[in-house]
Amino acid sequence: MLERLSWKRLAGEFFLFCLPALILGIFVGHFGWLLFASLLAALGWNYYNQLKLSHWLWLDRSITPPNGRWSWEPLFYGLNQMQMRNRRRRRELGQLIKRFRSGAESLPDAVVLTTEEGNIFWCNGLAQDLLGFRWPEDNGQHIFNLLRYPEFRTWIQTRDFSRALNLQLNNEHYVEFRVMPYSEGQLLMVARDVTQMRQLEGARRNFFANVSHELRTPLTVLQGYLEMMEDAKLEEPFRTKALDTMQEQTRRMDGLVKQLLTLSKIEASANIDMHEKVDIPVMLGMLEREVQSLSSGRHEVVFRVNEKLKVFGNEDQLRSAVSNLVYNAVNHTPAGTRIEVSWQQTPHGAQFQISDNGPGIAPQHLPRLTERFYRVDKARSRQTGGSGLGLAIVKHALSHHNAKLEVMSEVGVGTRFIFTLAPKLIVPQEQASQSDVKG
């Protein structure tokens, strides 16, 4: 292990250069000339090593410095050690940058690094997707050239980064921008996509507005009749009519609250037991009797049911889905309509289908049928007691069973609702037969 250069080592080396001159001067004389020659040799030796060092620094492409002797050996060794330390630091810095970029790429937000002047020198992949940046083509571009929004320019120029900026981009995304100092002369900008939060907030506002609107009408009716009863004693037949109307409005509110609770329960049940055997044929048998009573002969209702077709799933949610579809068909189709309910096994799985030859639904309504409180005919829905929540319940119940509600309708021809449960949810015939025997 070499040590650093010291005065003792330099003095020893100088003495070694002068030693031949001393020895020869004793025997042959001319000590001064011999000492001068020794000094020239030492100077030439140092110049030679300086040229080697300069050649290595400027021309030689090798990583390690040249070999040196005597006082030059620790100098070359020291340069080699310094170079190794620098390479190690560069590797560590490279790993640190790599980890930073990997972490920034894993973030759920867009990250952009800029100078204080606003020139971009790095961004992650999400910034390219969300903000439309191109990398590395946009390296060095000013951020105002890429985000051309007056609100954004004003916000950056005011330098008030204590508050976030919410902005709707041209791609219809709502983005929340935050900027913070990153290092000397650099800024870190984080952009978060808050589109879903905005949509959920809008849905929440619409939900409460719809609920309050739905409850306001029956409450207004109840309040009006109660005030009439306070002001005067109602005689028949007005008294009977008032009581019937109040009972009807009470049932309507009760049905609305029940459906809201059902929808809330279905949405809240993230994990359901998919190993529960559900006897859909028995369920449809009970529905058939209820529908015949509800229809009172106004419709021709036909059930075509595979009595052996049972499935795995959540019984309450499947009952909600099936019953809402059947009741909708009876309540929202005119008298004389033929309604056909089918539960059959197909190559794609267990398929439930309900169709009618009623007036049909216009195409512009089909994409929104499963929205909460959406009604095709609002006046008729209120007359029949519809709340606009039935198909929303069906949609969420089926989503827990990895199924989707399909709606096909043509004005003047009829409407068909279909959902199909995957083949893996069909109870094998052996298990279905054993459960029948046990029952």
Q: Which pLDDT belongs to residue 350?
A: 94
Those residues whose C-beta lies under 8 Å from the C-beta of residue 142, and which sit 6 or more positions away, are: 117, 118, 119, 120
Alpha carbon distances (Å) from 108 to 125, 242, 246: 10, 59, 53
Give the residue carrying structure tokens 């959920």: 200
> Cα 16 vs. chain centroid, distance in angstroms?
77
- pLDDT at position 346: 93
Dihedral-angle region of residue 306 (phi above 0 means left; psi in -120 to 50 means alpha; beta otherwise): beta
CA atoms of 48 and 27, how far apart (whole Å): 31
Query: Quick one: which of 301, 329, 327, 351 has its CA closest to 409?
Result: 329
| 23-29 long-range Cβ contacts below 8 angstroms, 24+ apart | none
Give pLDDT, residue 436: 57
Token pair for 167:
């902005």
User: Strand 311-312 relative to strand 277-278: parallel, antiparallel, unpaired?
Assistant: antiparallel
Helix (DSSP H) and strand (DSSP E) numbers for the chain? 13, 12
pLDDT in tens, the chain (439 residues): 566 666 777 777 777 777 777 777 777 777 777 778 888 887 888 888 888 888 777 777 777 777 777 777 777 777 777 888 888 888 888 887 777 777 777 778 888 989 988 899 888 888 888 888 988 889 999 999 999 999 999 998 888 888 899 988 888 889 999 998 887 888 999 999 988 888 777 666 766 666 666 677 677 777 777 777 766 666 677 777 777 778 877 877 777 777 777 777 776 666 677 778 999 999 999 999 888 888 888 888 999 999 999 999 988 889 889 998 998 888 888 888 999 999 999 999 999 999 999 888 888 888 888 887 777 765 444 444 456 777 888 888 898 888 999 999 989 889 999 999 999 999 887 665 655 545 5
Which stretches of 261-361 are assigned E, i.e. beta strand? 277-278, 300-305, 311-312, 338-346, 349-356
Task: Note the pTM of the prediction, 2 decimals.
Answer: 0.51
Q: What tokens does 11 get?
A: 């003095």
DSSP, res 363? G
Pair 308, 429: CB distance under 8 Å? yes
pLDDT for the residue 352: 95
pLDDT at 1: 54
Amino acid at 116: E
The Cα 338–Cα 416 span in angstroms is: 12
Q: Encoding tokens for residue 176?
A: 């929340």
In whole angstroms, give the CA distance from residue 321 to residue 333.
Answer: 18
Strand, coil or helix: what is 302? strand
Look up tokens 């589109």; give the residue.
195
Which alpha helices (H) appear in 5-114, and where do they start and end? 7-28, 31-58, 72-106
**CA–CA gap between residue 137 and residue 257 (Å, rounded):** 57
| CA distance from start to end of the chain | 90
At residue 142, the pLDDT reads 92
Q: The tokens of 72 are what?
A: 């030059």
Give which of 402, 396, 388, 413 is closest to 337, Cα–Cα: 413
For residue 325, which of 351, 347, 348 has the smallest C-alpha distance? 351
Q: Residue 77: phi, psi to the nearest 5? A: -65, -40
CA nearest 351: which of 314, 304, 384?
Answer: 304
Q: Is 108 exposed, middle or buried (0-12, 13-18, 19+ CB in 10 A)?
A: exposed
Largest interatomic CA distance in the chain: 156
DSSP classification of residue 427: P
Q: What is the pLDDT of residue 13?
A: 76
